[in-house]
Structure 1
Amino acid sequence: MGILDGKRILVAGVTMDSSIGFATAKVAQEQGATVLISNFGRALGITRRIAKRLPVEPPVLELDVTDEEHLARLPELVREHVDGLDGVVHSIAFGNPETLLGGKFMTGPWPDVAQAMQVSAYSLASLARACKPLMGSGGSIVGLTFDATVAWPAYDWMGVAKAGLESCSRYVARDLGPDGIRCNLVSAGPLKTLAAKAIPGFEELESMWSTRAPLGWDEKDQTPTARAVCALLSDFFPATTGEIIHVDGGFHAMGA
Protein backbone atom coordinates (compact mmCIF):
# COMPACT_ATOMS: atom_id res chain seq x y z
CA MET A 1 0.00 0.00 0.00
CA GLY A 2 1.09 3.55 -0.71
CA ILE A 3 0.25 6.79 1.04
CA LEU A 4 -1.78 7.94 -1.98
CA ASP A 5 -3.79 4.77 -2.57
CA GLY A 6 -7.08 5.69 -4.21
CA LYS A 7 -6.17 9.37 -4.59
CA ARG A 8 -6.88 11.22 -7.83
CA ILE A 9 -4.15 13.77 -8.51
CA LEU A 10 -3.73 16.45 -11.17
CA VAL A 11 -0.15 17.61 -11.72
CA ALA A 12 -0.41 20.86 -13.64
CA GLY A 13 2.66 22.03 -15.54
CA VAL A 14 4.64 18.94 -16.57
CA THR A 15 7.01 19.49 -19.47
CA MET A 16 10.31 17.60 -19.29
CA ASP A 17 11.18 14.40 -17.42
CA SER A 18 13.74 16.48 -15.48
CA SER A 19 10.99 18.60 -13.94
CA ILE A 20 9.73 18.47 -10.37
CA GLY A 21 6.25 17.95 -11.79
CA PHE A 22 7.32 14.81 -13.62
CA ALA A 23 9.10 13.46 -10.53
CA THR A 24 5.99 14.17 -8.47
CA ALA A 25 3.76 12.35 -10.94
CA LYS A 26 6.11 9.36 -10.80
CA VAL A 27 6.24 9.19 -7.01
CA ALA A 28 2.47 9.72 -6.78
CA GLN A 29 1.86 6.77 -9.09
CA GLU A 30 4.30 4.64 -7.11
CA GLN A 31 2.33 5.57 -3.98
CA GLY A 32 -0.95 4.38 -5.50
CA ALA A 33 -2.47 7.54 -7.02
CA THR A 34 -4.30 7.88 -10.30
CA VAL A 35 -2.48 10.77 -11.96
CA LEU A 36 -3.43 13.25 -14.66
CA ILE A 37 -0.92 15.78 -16.02
CA SER A 38 -1.30 18.96 -18.04
CA ASN A 39 0.44 21.46 -20.27
CA PHE A 40 -0.46 23.65 -23.26
CA GLY A 41 0.74 25.14 -26.51
CA ARG A 42 3.92 23.91 -28.16
CA ALA A 43 4.99 22.14 -24.96
CA LEU A 44 1.90 19.92 -25.03
CA GLY A 45 3.44 17.59 -27.61
CA ILE A 46 6.55 17.19 -25.45
CA THR A 47 4.40 16.42 -22.42
CA ARG A 48 2.51 13.73 -24.33
CA ARG A 49 5.79 12.09 -25.30
CA ILE A 50 7.37 12.15 -21.85
CA ALA A 51 4.12 10.90 -20.27
CA LYS A 52 5.01 7.52 -21.75
CA ARG A 53 8.07 7.42 -19.46
CA LEU A 54 5.98 7.32 -16.30
CA PRO A 55 5.20 3.94 -14.68
CA VAL A 56 1.61 4.26 -15.98
CA GLU A 57 0.98 6.56 -18.94
CA PRO A 58 -1.41 9.22 -17.59
CA PRO A 59 -4.01 11.26 -19.44
CA VAL A 60 -2.56 14.57 -20.66
CA LEU A 61 -4.90 17.54 -20.46
CA GLU A 62 -4.53 20.84 -22.29
CA LEU A 63 -4.52 23.61 -19.69
CA ASP A 64 -3.26 27.17 -19.95
CA VAL A 65 -3.83 28.66 -16.49
CA THR A 66 -3.97 32.17 -17.97
CA ASP A 67 -6.87 31.23 -20.27
CA GLU A 68 -10.31 31.53 -18.64
CA GLU A 69 -11.85 29.20 -21.22
CA HIS A 70 -9.29 26.50 -20.40
CA LEU A 71 -9.98 26.92 -16.68
CA ALA A 72 -13.75 26.79 -17.21
CA ARG A 73 -13.58 23.53 -19.14
CA LEU A 74 -11.08 21.86 -16.80
CA PRO A 75 -13.70 20.06 -14.66
CA GLU A 76 -15.22 18.55 -17.80
CA LEU A 77 -11.82 17.38 -19.07
CA VAL A 78 -10.92 15.86 -15.69
CA ARG A 79 -14.26 14.03 -15.45
CA GLU A 80 -13.53 12.28 -18.74
CA HIS A 81 -10.97 10.27 -16.77
CA VAL A 82 -11.86 10.42 -13.05
CA ASP A 83 -14.95 11.47 -11.12
CA GLY A 84 -13.14 14.09 -9.04
CA LEU A 85 -9.84 15.17 -7.55
CA ASP A 86 -8.23 14.64 -4.16
CA GLY A 87 -5.08 16.61 -4.92
CA VAL A 88 -3.70 19.27 -7.25
CA VAL A 89 -0.05 20.13 -7.85
CA HIS A 90 0.80 23.62 -9.13
CA SER A 91 4.12 23.19 -10.94
CA ILE A 92 3.86 26.34 -13.02
CA ALA A 93 6.08 29.42 -13.33
CA PHE A 94 7.42 31.69 -16.03
CA GLY A 95 9.44 34.88 -16.26
CA ASN A 96 11.02 36.15 -19.45
CA PRO A 97 14.74 35.47 -18.92
CA GLU A 98 15.72 38.14 -21.43
CA THR A 99 14.04 40.97 -19.52
CA LEU A 100 13.39 39.86 -15.93
CA LEU A 101 16.29 37.66 -14.81
CA GLY A 102 20.05 37.70 -14.56
CA GLY A 103 20.55 41.17 -13.09
CA LYS A 104 17.74 42.94 -14.95
CA PHE A 105 15.57 43.77 -11.94
CA MET A 106 15.69 47.55 -12.24
CA THR A 107 14.90 47.48 -15.96
CA GLY A 108 12.20 44.82 -16.01
CA PRO A 109 9.23 46.14 -18.07
CA TRP A 110 5.78 46.00 -16.52
CA PRO A 111 4.12 43.89 -19.24
CA ASP A 112 6.68 41.12 -18.65
CA VAL A 113 6.42 41.52 -14.87
CA ALA A 114 2.62 41.31 -15.11
CA GLN A 115 2.91 38.09 -17.14
CA ALA A 116 5.32 36.58 -14.60
CA MET A 117 2.98 37.45 -11.74
CA GLN A 118 -0.07 36.01 -13.50
CA VAL A 119 1.61 32.77 -14.55
CA SER A 120 3.67 32.20 -11.42
CA ALA A 121 1.46 33.54 -8.59
CA TYR A 122 -2.11 34.45 -9.55
CA SER A 123 -2.46 31.11 -11.34
CA LEU A 124 -2.41 29.27 -8.01
CA ALA A 125 -5.71 30.93 -7.11
CA SER A 126 -7.01 30.45 -10.67
CA LEU A 127 -6.20 26.74 -10.59
CA ALA A 128 -7.64 26.31 -7.10
CA ARG A 129 -10.85 28.03 -8.18
CA ALA A 130 -11.15 25.80 -11.27
CA CYS A 131 -10.50 22.61 -9.32
CA LYS A 132 -12.69 23.38 -6.30
CA PRO A 133 -15.85 21.83 -7.86
CA LEU A 134 -13.87 18.60 -8.34
CA MET A 135 -12.78 18.42 -4.69
CA GLY A 136 -16.16 17.92 -3.09
CA SER A 137 -15.02 16.22 0.10
CA GLY A 138 -11.85 18.25 0.49
CA GLY A 139 -8.29 17.60 -0.54
CA SER A 140 -4.86 19.11 -0.92
CA ILE A 141 -3.32 21.71 -3.21
CA VAL A 142 0.48 21.87 -3.30
CA GLY A 143 2.60 24.44 -5.12
CA LEU A 144 6.34 24.82 -5.65
CA THR A 145 8.38 27.83 -4.62
CA PHE A 146 11.96 29.00 -4.21
CA ASP A 147 12.52 30.77 -0.89
CA ALA A 148 11.22 34.32 -1.39
CA THR A 149 12.21 35.72 2.01
CA VAL A 150 15.49 37.13 0.66
CA ALA A 151 16.84 38.64 -2.56
CA TRP A 152 18.86 36.10 -4.56
CA PRO A 153 21.51 36.71 -7.23
CA ALA A 154 20.05 36.48 -10.75
CA TYR A 155 16.49 35.58 -9.65
CA ASP A 156 15.21 39.15 -9.74
CA TRP A 157 11.51 39.45 -10.73
CA MET A 158 10.94 35.72 -10.35
CA GLY A 159 11.78 36.21 -6.68
CA VAL A 160 9.02 38.81 -6.49
CA ALA A 161 6.65 36.45 -8.28
CA LYS A 162 7.49 33.66 -5.82
CA ALA A 163 6.83 36.03 -2.93
CA GLY A 164 3.42 36.63 -4.49
CA LEU A 165 2.90 32.87 -4.81
CA GLU A 166 3.74 32.34 -1.15
CA SER A 167 1.27 35.02 -0.06
CA CYS A 168 -1.35 33.70 -2.49
CA SER A 169 -1.02 30.22 -0.96
CA ARG A 170 -1.87 31.57 2.48
CA TYR A 171 -5.01 33.28 1.19
CA VAL A 172 -6.09 30.17 -0.73
CA ALA A 173 -5.57 28.21 2.49
CA ARG A 174 -7.75 30.73 4.35
CA ASP A 175 -10.59 30.77 1.85
CA LEU A 176 -10.74 27.04 1.01
CA GLY A 177 -10.04 25.71 4.49
CA PRO A 178 -13.76 25.72 5.41
CA ASP A 179 -14.29 23.37 2.43
CA GLY A 180 -11.70 20.95 3.78
CA ILE A 181 -9.12 21.94 1.14
CA ARG A 182 -5.55 22.47 2.31
CA CYS A 183 -3.02 24.59 0.42
CA ASN A 184 0.72 24.35 1.08
CA LEU A 185 3.99 25.00 -0.74
CA VAL A 186 7.26 23.10 -1.00
CA SER A 187 10.35 25.30 -1.18
CA ALA A 188 13.07 23.34 -2.95
CA GLY A 189 16.75 24.08 -3.28
CA PRO A 190 18.15 24.76 -6.77
CA LEU A 191 17.51 21.87 -9.16
CA LYS A 192 18.72 21.33 -12.71
CA THR A 193 15.36 21.74 -14.42
CA LEU A 194 14.36 23.38 -17.69
CA ALA A 195 13.28 26.46 -15.73
CA ALA A 196 16.64 26.71 -13.96
CA LYS A 197 18.54 26.54 -17.23
CA ALA A 198 16.69 29.65 -18.39
CA ILE A 199 18.02 31.76 -15.49
CA PRO A 200 21.28 33.55 -16.34
CA GLY A 201 23.73 33.10 -13.48
CA PHE A 202 21.78 30.30 -11.78
CA GLU A 203 25.06 28.43 -11.27
CA GLU A 204 25.93 30.99 -8.60
CA LEU A 205 22.93 29.84 -6.59
CA GLU A 206 23.82 26.18 -7.03
CA SER A 207 27.35 26.73 -5.73
CA MET A 208 26.05 28.12 -2.42
CA TRP A 209 24.28 24.88 -1.54
CA SER A 210 27.42 22.72 -1.88
CA THR A 211 29.03 24.39 1.13
CA ARG A 212 26.09 25.57 3.29
CA ALA A 213 23.45 22.82 3.19
CA PRO A 214 24.14 20.65 6.29
CA LEU A 215 22.55 17.58 4.70
CA GLY A 216 24.25 18.25 1.37
CA TRP A 217 22.34 18.89 -1.81
CA ASP A 218 22.12 17.07 -5.15
CA GLU A 219 20.80 19.51 -7.73
CA LYS A 220 20.14 16.62 -10.12
CA ASP A 221 17.79 14.74 -7.78
CA GLN A 222 14.16 15.86 -7.84
CA THR A 223 12.94 12.88 -5.81
CA PRO A 224 13.24 14.40 -2.30
CA THR A 225 11.12 17.35 -3.40
CA ALA A 226 8.60 15.08 -5.13
CA ARG A 227 8.28 12.96 -1.99
CA ALA A 228 7.54 16.04 0.11
CA VAL A 229 4.85 17.11 -2.35
CA CYS A 230 3.29 13.65 -2.21
CA ALA A 231 3.39 13.64 1.59
CA LEU A 232 1.42 16.91 1.60
CA LEU A 233 -1.04 15.40 -0.90
CA SER A 234 -1.60 12.46 1.42
CA ASP A 235 -3.70 12.20 4.57
CA PHE A 236 -0.60 12.45 6.78
CA PHE A 237 -0.94 16.26 7.07
CA PRO A 238 -4.66 16.66 7.82
CA ALA A 239 -4.28 19.83 9.91
CA THR A 240 -1.51 21.60 7.99
CA THR A 241 -2.35 24.43 5.61
CA GLY A 242 -0.83 27.76 4.61
CA GLU A 243 2.60 26.24 5.28
CA ILE A 244 5.90 26.24 3.37
CA ILE A 245 7.93 23.04 3.72
CA HIS A 246 11.63 23.44 2.91
CA VAL A 247 13.34 20.66 0.99
CA ASP A 248 16.77 22.19 0.56
CA GLY A 249 19.19 20.15 2.64
CA GLY A 250 18.72 22.58 5.52
CA PHE A 251 20.22 25.55 3.66
CA HIS A 252 17.40 27.90 4.70
CA ALA A 253 18.21 27.46 8.39
CA MET A 254 21.90 28.37 8.14
CA GLY A 255 23.12 31.93 8.73
CA ALA A 256 26.47 31.47 6.99
Structure 2
Amino acid sequence: MTSTGLLDGKRILVAGVTMDSSIGFATAKVAQEQGATVLISNFGRALGITRRIAKRLPVEPPVLELDVTDPDHLAALPDAVREHVDGLDGVVHSIAYGNPETLLGGKFLDGPWDDVAQALHVSAYSLKALAVATRPLLSPGSSVVGLTFDATVAWPVYDWMGVAKAGLESCARYLARDLGPEGIRVNLVSAGPLKTLAAKAIPGFEDLEALWETKAPLGWDNADHVPTAKAVCALLSDFFPATTGEIVHVDGGFHAMGA
Protein backbone atom coordinates (compact mmCIF):
# COMPACT_ATOMS: atom_id res chain seq x y z
CA MET A 1 0.00 0.00 0.00
CA THR A 2 1.34 3.43 -0.92
CA SER A 3 1.38 5.81 2.02
CA THR A 4 -0.02 9.29 1.45
CA GLY A 5 0.45 12.52 3.32
CA LEU A 6 -2.29 14.50 4.99
CA LEU A 7 -1.77 17.34 2.52
CA ASP A 8 -0.97 15.43 -0.67
CA GLY A 9 -1.70 17.61 -3.67
CA LYS A 10 -2.44 20.70 -1.58
CA ARG A 11 -1.01 24.08 -2.51
CA ILE A 12 -0.27 26.12 0.60
CA LEU A 13 0.89 29.71 1.12
CA VAL A 14 2.55 30.33 4.48
CA ALA A 15 2.66 34.09 4.96
CA GLY A 16 5.11 35.45 7.49
CA VAL A 17 8.15 33.15 7.57
CA THR A 18 11.29 34.83 8.86
CA MET A 19 13.54 32.59 10.93
CA ASP A 20 13.76 28.81 11.07
CA SER A 21 12.68 29.21 14.71
CA SER A 22 9.30 30.58 13.64
CA ILE A 23 5.95 28.79 13.74
CA GLY A 24 5.59 29.63 10.05
CA PHE A 25 8.79 27.77 9.20
CA ALA A 26 7.74 24.73 11.24
CA THR A 27 4.36 24.77 9.51
CA ALA A 28 5.95 24.96 6.06
CA LYS A 29 8.21 22.02 6.95
CA VAL A 30 5.41 19.81 8.27
CA ALA A 31 3.21 20.73 5.30
CA GLN A 32 5.93 19.68 2.87
CA GLU A 33 6.49 16.45 4.79
CA GLN A 34 2.75 15.81 4.44
CA GLY A 35 2.85 16.21 0.67
CA ALA A 36 1.97 19.88 0.12
CA THR A 37 3.46 22.25 -2.40
CA VAL A 38 4.42 25.25 -0.27
CA LEU A 39 5.05 28.92 -0.99
CA ILE A 40 6.30 31.28 1.72
CA SER A 41 6.43 35.06 2.00
CA ASN A 42 8.00 37.99 3.77
CA PHE A 43 9.01 41.54 2.89
CA GLY A 44 11.49 44.33 3.43
CA ARG A 45 14.78 43.68 5.18
CA ALA A 46 13.55 40.30 6.41
CA LEU A 47 13.03 39.04 2.85
CA GLY A 48 16.71 38.23 2.41
CA ILE A 49 16.71 36.21 5.64
CA THR A 50 13.63 34.32 4.48
CA ARG A 51 15.27 33.46 1.17
CA ARG A 52 18.26 32.03 3.02
CA ILE A 53 16.31 29.97 5.53
CA ALA A 54 14.01 28.66 2.75
CA LYS A 55 16.95 26.51 1.70
CA ARG A 56 16.68 24.65 5.03
CA LEU A 57 13.25 23.26 4.22
CA PRO A 58 12.98 19.75 2.73
CA VAL A 59 12.14 21.35 -0.64
CA GLU A 60 13.22 24.93 -1.25
CA PRO A 61 9.93 26.82 -1.80
CA PRO A 62 9.27 29.95 -3.83
CA VAL A 63 9.61 33.07 -1.66
CA LEU A 64 7.15 35.84 -2.44
CA GLU A 65 7.50 39.46 -1.38
CA LEU A 66 4.35 40.33 0.54
CA ASP A 67 3.71 43.17 2.96
CA VAL A 68 0.16 42.49 4.15
CA THR A 69 -0.31 46.19 4.97
CA ASP A 70 0.54 47.29 1.41
CA PRO A 71 -2.50 47.41 -0.93
CA ASP A 72 -0.26 47.10 -4.00
CA HIS A 73 1.36 43.92 -2.67
CA LEU A 74 -2.05 42.45 -1.87
CA ALA A 75 -3.43 43.32 -5.31
CA ALA A 76 -0.41 41.71 -7.00
CA LEU A 77 -0.51 38.56 -4.86
CA PRO A 78 -2.76 36.36 -7.07
CA ASP A 79 -0.53 36.87 -10.11
CA ALA A 80 2.59 36.29 -8.01
CA VAL A 81 1.17 33.00 -6.73
CA ARG A 82 0.09 31.90 -10.22
CA GLU A 83 3.71 32.12 -11.37
CA HIS A 84 4.26 28.97 -9.30
CA VAL A 85 0.88 27.22 -8.83
CA ASP A 86 -2.52 27.57 -10.47
CA GLY A 87 -4.41 28.13 -7.21
CA LEU A 88 -4.31 27.65 -3.45
CA ASP A 89 -5.92 25.12 -1.14
CA GLY A 90 -4.71 26.75 2.04
CA VAL A 91 -3.36 29.99 3.47
CA VAL A 92 -1.50 30.34 6.75
CA HIS A 93 -1.40 33.73 8.48
CA SER A 94 1.69 33.71 10.71
CA ILE A 95 2.00 37.47 11.08
CA ALA A 96 1.98 39.80 14.08
CA TYR A 97 3.80 42.90 15.27
CA GLY A 98 3.58 45.34 18.13
CA ASN A 99 6.30 47.84 19.02
CA PRO A 100 7.93 46.25 22.10
CA GLU A 101 9.25 49.60 23.28
CA THR A 102 5.82 51.21 23.56
CA LEU A 103 3.15 48.49 23.65
CA LEU A 104 4.54 45.53 25.61
CA GLY A 105 6.13 44.76 28.96
CA GLY A 106 3.74 46.66 31.22
CA LYS A 107 3.17 49.72 29.01
CA PHE A 108 -0.54 49.23 28.41
CA LEU A 109 -1.69 52.53 29.92
CA ASP A 110 0.89 54.50 27.96
CA GLY A 111 0.57 52.86 24.54
CA PRO A 112 0.30 55.61 21.86
CA TRP A 113 -2.44 55.29 19.28
CA ASP A 114 -0.16 55.32 16.24
CA ASP A 115 1.65 52.24 17.52
CA VAL A 116 -1.60 50.59 18.61
CA ALA A 117 -3.07 51.22 15.16
CA GLN A 118 -0.03 49.61 13.54
CA ALA A 119 -0.32 46.56 15.81
CA LEU A 120 -4.01 46.16 14.99
CA HIS A 121 -3.35 46.57 11.27
CA VAL A 122 -0.48 44.08 11.10
CA SER A 123 -1.79 41.55 13.63
CA ALA A 124 -5.57 41.55 13.12
CA TYR A 125 -6.83 43.41 10.04
CA SER A 126 -4.21 41.69 7.89
CA LEU A 127 -5.99 38.35 8.33
CA LYS A 128 -8.96 39.82 6.47
CA ALA A 129 -6.69 41.52 3.95
CA LEU A 130 -4.80 38.29 3.22
CA ALA A 131 -7.97 36.22 2.97
CA VAL A 132 -9.54 38.67 0.53
CA ALA A 133 -6.34 38.94 -1.53
CA THR A 134 -6.13 35.16 -1.92
CA ARG A 135 -9.87 34.66 -2.38
CA PRO A 136 -9.60 34.44 -6.20
CA LEU A 137 -7.18 31.53 -5.73
CA LEU A 138 -9.27 29.58 -3.23
CA SER A 139 -11.97 27.07 -4.11
CA PRO A 140 -14.59 25.25 -2.02
CA GLY A 141 -12.85 23.11 0.57
CA SER A 142 -10.00 25.57 1.03
CA SER A 143 -8.75 26.59 4.46
CA VAL A 144 -7.38 29.76 6.02
CA VAL A 145 -5.54 29.27 9.33
CA GLY A 146 -4.14 31.97 11.60
CA LEU A 147 -2.09 31.89 14.79
CA THR A 148 -3.18 33.50 18.04
CA PHE A 149 -2.32 33.62 21.71
CA ASP A 150 -5.37 33.22 23.96
CA ALA A 151 -7.06 36.62 24.06
CA THR A 152 -9.84 35.76 26.52
CA VAL A 153 -7.85 37.03 29.51
CA ALA A 154 -5.30 39.73 30.34
CA TRP A 155 -1.75 38.36 30.49
CA PRO A 156 1.37 39.76 32.16
CA VAL A 157 3.53 41.86 29.79
CA TYR A 158 1.43 41.07 26.66
CA ASP A 159 -0.59 44.29 26.88
CA TRP A 160 -1.62 45.74 23.49
CA MET A 161 -0.70 42.55 21.64
CA GLY A 162 -3.42 40.88 23.68
CA VAL A 163 -5.87 43.45 22.34
CA ALA A 164 -4.59 42.85 18.81
CA LYS A 165 -5.04 39.09 19.22
CA ALA A 166 -8.59 39.65 20.46
CA GLY A 167 -9.20 41.56 17.25
CA LEU A 168 -7.66 38.72 15.26
CA GLU A 169 -9.93 36.17 16.91
CA SER A 170 -13.03 38.25 16.23
CA CYS A 171 -11.88 38.87 12.65
CA ALA A 172 -11.57 35.12 12.10
CA ARG A 173 -15.16 34.55 13.21
CA TYR A 174 -16.50 37.19 10.83
CA LEU A 175 -14.38 35.81 8.00
CA ALA A 176 -15.77 32.36 8.74
CA ARG A 177 -19.25 33.81 8.42
CA ASP A 178 -18.62 35.62 5.14
CA LEU A 179 -16.42 33.04 3.39
CA GLY A 180 -18.33 29.99 4.57
CA PRO A 181 -20.91 30.19 1.77
CA GLU A 182 -17.98 29.84 -0.67
CA GLY A 183 -16.82 26.68 1.10
CA ILE A 184 -13.77 28.40 2.61
CA ARG A 185 -13.01 27.55 6.24
CA VAL A 186 -11.32 30.03 8.62
CA ASN A 187 -9.83 28.82 11.90
CA LEU A 188 -7.13 29.77 14.38
CA VAL A 189 -4.58 27.83 16.40
CA SER A 190 -3.91 29.23 19.86
CA ALA A 191 -0.41 28.14 20.84
CA GLY A 192 1.23 28.30 24.21
CA PRO A 193 4.32 30.52 24.58
CA LEU A 194 7.05 29.49 22.14
CA LYS A 195 10.60 30.71 21.74
CA THR A 196 10.39 32.74 18.55
CA LEU A 197 11.88 35.98 17.27
CA ALA A 198 8.64 37.75 18.23
CA ALA A 199 8.71 36.31 21.75
CA LYS A 200 12.28 37.48 22.30
CA ALA A 201 11.12 41.03 21.62
CA ILE A 202 8.58 40.99 24.46
CA PRO A 203 10.06 42.49 27.66
CA GLY A 204 9.48 40.05 30.53
CA PHE A 205 8.28 37.22 28.28
CA GLU A 206 10.01 34.70 30.53
CA ASP A 207 7.55 35.62 33.30
CA LEU A 208 4.69 34.69 30.99
CA GLU A 209 6.12 31.41 29.76
CA ALA A 210 7.02 30.38 33.32
CA LEU A 211 3.30 29.98 34.03
CA TRP A 212 3.20 26.92 31.76
CA GLU A 213 5.84 25.05 33.77
CA THR A 214 3.42 24.08 36.53
CA LYS A 215 -0.06 24.50 35.03
CA ALA A 216 0.00 22.71 31.66
CA PRO A 217 -1.21 19.16 32.42
CA LEU A 218 0.57 17.69 29.39
CA GLY A 219 3.64 19.76 30.06
CA TRP A 220 4.94 22.34 27.63
CA ASP A 221 8.15 22.54 25.63
CA ASN A 222 8.53 26.15 24.54
CA ALA A 223 11.23 25.18 22.04
CA ASP A 224 9.08 22.62 20.20
CA HIS A 225 7.10 24.21 17.38
CA VAL A 226 6.02 20.92 15.81
CA PRO A 227 2.79 20.33 17.80
CA THR A 228 1.54 23.76 16.76
CA ALA A 229 2.59 23.21 13.14
CA LYS A 230 0.83 19.84 13.09
CA ALA A 231 -2.41 21.44 14.32
CA VAL A 232 -2.20 24.07 11.60
CA CYS A 233 -1.65 21.38 8.98
CA ALA A 234 -4.56 19.33 10.32
CA LEU A 235 -6.84 22.35 9.86
CA LEU A 236 -5.45 22.85 6.35
CA SER A 237 -6.31 19.24 5.52
CA ASP A 238 -9.62 17.67 4.55
CA PHE A 239 -10.04 16.18 8.04
CA PHE A 240 -11.97 19.21 9.36
CA PRO A 241 -14.50 19.70 6.54
CA ALA A 242 -17.25 21.13 8.74
CA THR A 243 -15.15 23.17 11.17
CA THR A 244 -14.88 26.94 10.83
CA GLY A 245 -14.74 29.91 13.16
CA GLU A 246 -12.92 27.68 15.65
CA ILE A 247 -9.88 28.23 17.89
CA VAL A 248 -7.87 25.07 18.49
CA HIS A 249 -5.66 25.27 21.58
CA VAL A 250 -2.19 23.76 21.41
CA ASP A 251 -0.89 24.69 24.84
CA GLY A 252 -0.50 21.48 26.82
CA GLY A 253 -4.00 21.98 28.23
CA PHE A 254 -3.10 25.19 30.08
CA HIS A 255 -6.20 27.06 28.86
CA ALA A 256 -8.55 24.57 30.55
CA MET A 257 -7.00 24.79 34.01
CA GLY A 258 -8.03 27.01 36.94
CA ALA A 259 -5.73 28.42 39.61
Name the TM tier (shorter chain): over 0.9
Q: Deviations over 1:13-53 (max 9, x none)?
A: 00000000000000000000000000000000000000000
Q: Is the 8 A contact 2:27 2:226 kept in 1?
A: yes
Q: Equivalent residue for 2:182?
A: 179
Q: Write out aligned runs for 1:32-181 (5 A).
A: 32-181=35-184
Q: Using the alignment, how far apart are the partners of 2:36 and 2:71 within structure 1?
A: 28
Q: Using the alignment, how far apart are the partners of 1:98 and 1:3 within structure 2?
A: 41
Q: Is the 8 A contact 2:125 2:171 kept in 1?
A: yes
How far is 1:107 from its partner?
A: 0.3
Q: Is the 8 A contact 2:141 2:241 kept in 1?
A: no
How far is 1:76 from its partner?
A: 0.2
Which residue, out of 9, 12, 16, partners 2:12? 9
Give the structure-1-normalised TM-score. Answer: 1.00
Q: Deviations over 1:184-226 (max 9, x none)?
A: 0000000000000000010011111010000000000000000
Q: Secondary structure at the match of 1:77?
A: helix
Give the gaps of 5 or more residues in structure 2: none
Q: Using the alignment, how far apart are the partners of 1:103 and 1:204 within structure 2?
A: 12
Q: Equivalent residue for 1:220?
A: 223
Which residue, out of 29, 46, 54, partners 1:26? 29
Q: Secondary structure at the match of 1:6?
A: coil
Q: Secondary structure at the match of 2:210?
A: helix
Q: Using the alignment, how far apart are the partners of 1:228 and 1:136 within structure 2?
A: 22
Q: Using the alignment, how far apart are the partners of 2:192 and 2:209 within structure 1?
A: 8
Q: Secondary structure at the match of 1:86?
A: strand
Q: Using the alignment, how far apart are the partners of 1:213 and 1:153 within structure 2?
A: 17
- Alignment-mate amino acid for residue 89 of structure 2: D
User: In the alignment, is residue 200 of structure 1 matched against residue 203 of structure 2?
Assistant: yes
Q: Equivalent residue for 1:191?
A: 194
Q: Equivalent residue for 2:245?
A: 242
User: In the alignment, is residue 231 of structure 1 matched against residue 242 of structure 2?
Assistant: no
Q: Using the alignment, how far apart are the partners of 2:116 and 2:219 within structure 1?
A: 34
How far is 1:137 from its partner?
A: 3.3
Q: Is the 8 A contact 2:77 2:134 kept in 1?
A: yes
Q: Using the alignment, how far apart are the partners of 2:181 and 2:23 within structure 1?
A: 29
- Alignment-mate amino acid for residue 238 of structure 2: D
Give the gaps of 5 or more residues in structure 1: none
Q: Secondary structure at the match of 1:51?
A: helix
Q: Secondary structure at the match of 1:106?
A: helix
RMSD of equivalent CA atoms: 0.4
The percentage of counterpart residues that share the same residue type is 85
How far is 1:136 from its partner?
A: 2.8
Q: Using the alignment, how far apart are the partners of 2:94 and 2:19 within structure 1?
A: 12
Q: Is the 8 A contact 2:141 2:238 kept in 1?
A: no
Q: Which runs of 4+ in 1 moved over 4 A?
A: none
Q: Is the 8 A contact 2:139 2:184 kept in 1?
A: no
How far is 1:138 from its partner?
A: 3.7
